[in-house]
Structure 1
Amino acid sequence: MTRLSWTRQQSLVAFSLYCRLPFGRFHSRNPEIIQYANLIGRTPSALAMKLSNIASLDPAITSSGRAGLSGASIADNAMWQEMQYDWAAFSVAIAQAEQVITAASSPAAFNEHGNVTTSKIAEVKVRLGQQFFRNAVLSAYDQRCCISGLANPKLLVASHIVPWSADEQNRLNPHNGLALSALHDKAFDLGLITINEDFRVVVSNKNISNDDHFFNEAIINFHGKSIRLPDKFSPAAQFLAFHRENIFERGCTG
């Protein structure tokens, strides 16, 4: 029997699932894999295998001793490189692919017959990109704050390490993200805390001496503790260095 090649649209859907599912859920019994396999005309086993093949291209997976499968195609490799090269464009591509296969109405900005403005197109692309970034980052951290362990998605933020306004190219790069509680996201954004080279929390010594009991419990008590590292999309060293050098309050300890 002739094996049908994966279309670009099918592969984009597979990459979308790869970005938002934990490695341990790449199996044919996963309801989300079953759902999308039916939508793209593949078996759940084939789609699960595709995700494991993609995993073999991910250094974060292979460096941890997990191998994935060895059947990644030349096209898979090319799409992996495409994703790494331009996260913003890729996030829009996979969102559009999912819209097509779920038969959802395309956003007005993507309707070639619609009378829409350039600003509207840009607005939709930003929204799609932000959704992709949040899904990818929170999934990588298994829907938990990497500092506190909080596991309520409503209270979690896909926090940018290098601020959105400071690096357009890496705005949607999941390696530029941390899963943080809303409180720790704000503290990180304000430079009250940072992450050192050993992935430990550092609290600015401007705040180490604090009479606020809640602040001590929620912030200072995490000083020196290791963050919970993700299954994939580990925070890039250069982004963390930027935060320490440009955002973190000077005069730190540790």
Structure 2
Amino acid sequence: MKRGRLWTREELLPVINLYCKTPFGRIHQRNPDIIKLAAKLDRSPGSVSYKMANLAALDESLDRAGARNASQLDRDVWSEFFGNIEKHITEIEAPNIDLESTKVGEDRVQETKVRVNQDFFRKTILASYENRCCITGVSHSSLLRASHILPWSKSKKHRLNPRNGLCLNALHDCAFDCGFLTLDPDLIVRVSPKVSKRPTTGDSEMLLRYNGKRIVLPKKFLPDEEFLSWHRINVFKS
């Protein structure tokens, strides 16, 4: 194993990818995913985990210093990655899924890329919120959704942007998409008045129970206020 060598762009891209999909509390050298990536890069797990900790300082959405040792190359590659996530996810993940072997026509390749993109977004959002609904705290993975603030169909540029996501349980995800709840600039849950005007049911009670409560903040990638403003204006049933 080579030690002490400088990091390269080609090494940093998969490290950023793994950073996105790893809960903050699992960024350590005993994490099997970090050990696996370290072996691929011919680096020590400690080196990879330390680099991931450095990257935390580059998430400007949160007031957290990370390890404070991010290099200029770290910053440049971070900006490159988030400037075109879809391109780089394909570049990073293709060797793992062997896109070439799935070429039974362009439709099949496109379906595979979409699946890879959706998998990245879900893993990143759930990792950011430590696999818990940010409103209710529900933690059963099959009940959790990586919810888009700007809908997938309306914003190709931000489809994979982690700051365009919320971790919600299935009920609150549907309510958010339908405009029955939103978040104000202070990340307080606001339930549509249309819910309280309906006869009380189990689902409406579950929504109203959290009205006025602040979400549990993510450890990474705070939701973008511009995206939330768009949701309040264009989706929320005020």
- Do they superpose with TM above 0.5? yes
CA contact (8 A) 1:87 1:170 kept: no
Extract unaligned runs of 5+ from structure 1: 100-104
CA contact (8 A) 2:195 2:204 kept: no
Q: Residues 210-221 of structure 1: matches in 2 within 5 Å?
A: 210-221=198-209
TM-aligned CA distance change 1:42 to 1:188, over 3 Å: same
TM-aligned CA distance change 1:207 to 1:30, over 3 Å: same
Shift of 1:7: 4.0
Picking from 45, 65, 68, the partner of 2:66 is 68
Q: Tell me, in whole angstroms, the C-alpha distance in 1 between the residues paired with 2:15 and 2:227.
A: 27
What code does the residue aligned with 1:210 have?
R
What code does the residue aligned with 1:45 have?
G
Shift of 1:212: 2.9
Aligned to 2:34: 33
Aligned to 1:16: 17
**What stretches of structure 1 move > 6 A for 4+ residues in a row?**
none
Q: Residues 208-247 of structure 1: matches in 2 within 5 Å?
A: 208-247=196-235
TM-aligned CA distance change 1:191 to 1:106, over 3 Å: same
Q: TM-score normalised to the size of structure 1?
A: 0.86
Q: Tell me, in whole angstroms, the C-alpha distance in 2 between the residues paired with 1:240 and 1:40.
A: 38
Picking from 92, 107, 111, the partner of 2:99 is 107
TM-aligned CA distance change 1:240 to 1:39, over 3 Å: same
Q: Tell me, in whole angstroms, the C-alpha distance in 1 between the residues paired with 2:4 and 2:32.
A: 25
What code does the residue aligned with 1:184 have?
H
Q: Tell me, in whole angstroms, the C-alpha distance in 1 between the residues paired with 2:50 and 2:61.
A: 18
What code does the residue aligned with 1:244 have?
R
What code does the residue aligned with 1:40 have?
L
What code does the residue aligned with 2:190 have?
V
Aligned to 2:45: 44
Aligned to 1:89: 87
Identity of aligned residues (%): 41
Superposed CA RMSD: 2.0
TM-aligned CA distance change 1:96 to 1:11, over 3 Å: farther
Aligned to 1:102: none
Q: TM-score normalised to the size of structure 2?
A: 0.91
Picking from 109, 120, 124, the partner of 1:136 is 124
CA contact (8 A) 2:132 2:144 kept: yes
CA contact (8 A) 1:175 1:234 kept: yes
